[in-house]
Homo-oligomer: A and B are copies of this chain.
């Protein structure tokens, strides 16, 4: 039987290519009191600023055995943080992992958790440089901290949106929420094991389940957008479009007016919503965990930015504009096909709230 230290070495030792670690400036990696890293070369050749973010996933709060496999949990725990770095316009660099594992978990489950963490790390070129594995009396908790870098002065906060700016997202929203809905329904018929992806494939919902289990943060889009110098605010959609739009609106002191007809409806999400009699807007506005970017950009650069992202195969949708006025979010809906008058609804801030949820 391996002891704790041997297991942790097995999970974390020499898991990443030396070239990746070198590229991220890792001098001393996982295994000493602290990792030692150098500031990696910066795209602009200047002195980079550092970005620091932390996110936590708690068993039974953020996932359960049916909705997520152990490797999915690892992937998503890191992806949520990579997305935070993208939402500042930066490049993710390093990660530190804190895992509290119930004594009832087989060591193989922790191994799979680390498999997912390393798969996501390799996908985004992130060096895992630190970790702390402790036991837990009950449920599993994984907290991930990431570093990133951004050219000095180029980080994009939430606070810069100005009246007239175009509002955009870098991908469809609501797919993760729809995937969770499908998973919870399927779990009710299941055996407590993770619902197999094959079941989703057979039901035409595999893209929704993948969006929920293996989100792909918009790092490349973030870097392309940040390089333009015209993006005035940026958030990632972790808590739902409504909540993130509210955060930008509140931090910037503007109203964000979104146009329903311009929202990027995913076909599989919409089809599944209609099958279940759900308004797809519910998942799009309040579902959360989409990890696309929501931001504002100077209106005269919106189309050029969209074209630049499209040239790289990356989507960008202009979905509204910022207005002067009290902080708030509005949704403009067209009344009908005849071009008749539109309706404007105030959108509540309601989002994913752990204390009330």
Interface residues of A, Cβ cutoff 8 Å to B: 3-5, 7, 27-28, 32-39, 47, 49-56, 58-62, 83-85, 87-88, 90, 94, 96-98, 100, 103, 129-139, 141, 143, 145-148, 150, 152, 155, 157-158, 234-236, 353-357
State A61–B136 Cα separation when bound (angstroms).
7
A49 x B38 contact (CB < 8 A): yes
Using A34-B87, A145-B145, A152-B38 as known contacts, say yes or no to A96 and B54 having CB atoms under 8 A apart.
yes
B34 x A90 contact (CB < 8 A): yes
Subset of 30 A-B contacts with CB under 8 Å: A3-B353, A4-B354, A27-B155, A28-B157, A32-B88, A32-B158, A33-B236, A34-B88, A34-B90, A36-B88, A37-B50, A38-B49, A38-B152, A39-B47, A50-B50, A52-B147, A53-B96, A56-B100, A58-B100, A61-B135, A61-B137, A62-B134, A100-B141, A133-B354, A135-B354, A135-B355, A136-B139, A136-B141, A138-B138, A138-B139
**Across the interface, which residues of B come within 8 angstroms of A141, CB to CB?**
100, 136, 141, 143
**Across the interface, which residues of B come within 8 angstroms of A38, CB to CB?**
47, 49-50, 152
Using A3-B353, A145-B96, A353-B4 as known contacts, say yes or no to A50 and B36 having CB atoms under 8 A apart.
yes
Using A50-B38, A52-B96, A54-B132 as known contacts, say yes or no to A33 and B139 having CB atoms under 8 A apart.
no
State A148–B37 Cα separation when bound (angstroms).
10
**Across the interface, which residues of B come within 8 angstroms of A148, CB to CB?**
34
**Across the interface, which residues of B come within 8 angstroms of A139, CB to CB?**
136-138
Picked from B4, B130, B158, B354, the residue with its CB within 8 Å of the CB of A355 is B4
B51 x A132 contact (CB < 8 A): no
**Across the interface, which residues of B come within 8 angstroms of A54, CB to CB?**
96-98, 130-132, 143, 145
Closest to A92 in B: B34
With both chains docked as a complex, state the minimum distance between the C-beta of A290 and any C-beta of chain B, in angstroms.
14
Closest to A51 in B: B34
**Across the interface, which residues of B come within 8 angstroms of A53, CB to CB?**
33-35, 96, 130
A35 x B56 contact (CB < 8 A): no
Can you list the 6 inter-chain pairs with the closest CB atoms, starting with the nearest? A98-B143, A34-B53, A33-B87, A145-B145, A143-B143, A4-B355
